[in-house]
Amino acid sequence: MTGNSCIVLSDDYKGYELEYFCVPRHYEDSLECVLIPSGLIQDRIERLARDVAADLGREPFAALCVLKGGYKFLADLLEKIKQCYRFSSENSVPFSVDFIRLQSYKDDHSTGDVKVLGVDGLSFLQNKNVLVVEDIIDTGKTMKVLLEILEKQKPKSVKVASLFVKRTSSSSGLRPDYVGFEIPDRFIVGYALDYNEYFPCESCLCHQ
């Protein structure tokens, strides 16, 4: 498993001009560019799904989605994982899905004060392979809190899949097991990553 390998967007990466894509007009004045088109995101998720399926083999697993932004990545990732199993075997691999919410952002800034919601009743993860699905990891401090909580449940294994990892000087050094894209320290929206509930777009967009 290549794990930490991913597509890296350089600091001077400019993305694509908005005029080349179908961006809702009422969002245009708030956006800088299309950072990653939807098609590229889907292709990258397909490869991540193949890596996850190869690592898990035929073992059941529990997918733990970090809300709110992770739900779309979770849905697309699990669908592509199921496709991998269908192509490689007649038998499907059972998995469960649950959700957790971690809160550390206010507007577009991380407050550093992590609030963990919905963690009661995670004892069912004991002795299970757990796949944590996150939309974006910024400093990594929030994810570290979650991993500490999960460790107390005595799972068989824990892997983290994050579609985006932000390159920032305040990073805790945490690196997910599966990474879609490493991006510069810019605030992004789209693909279920919102700004105060706005920008539900399919592509990854750079917010001004």
The residues assigned a catalytic role are 138
Matching residue, tokens 């001077």? 12
Which element (helix H / strand E) includes 100?
strand 95-106
Tokens for 166? 């932000």
Exposure class string for 146-170: b at 16+ Cβ within 10 A, else e: beeebeebebeebbbbbbbbbebee
8 A C-beta contact, residue 137 and residue 143? yes
CA angle, residues 21, 25, 26, in degrees to nearest 5? 135
Q: And the tokens for 36?
A: 């990653």
In Å, how far from its chain's centre is CA 159? 12
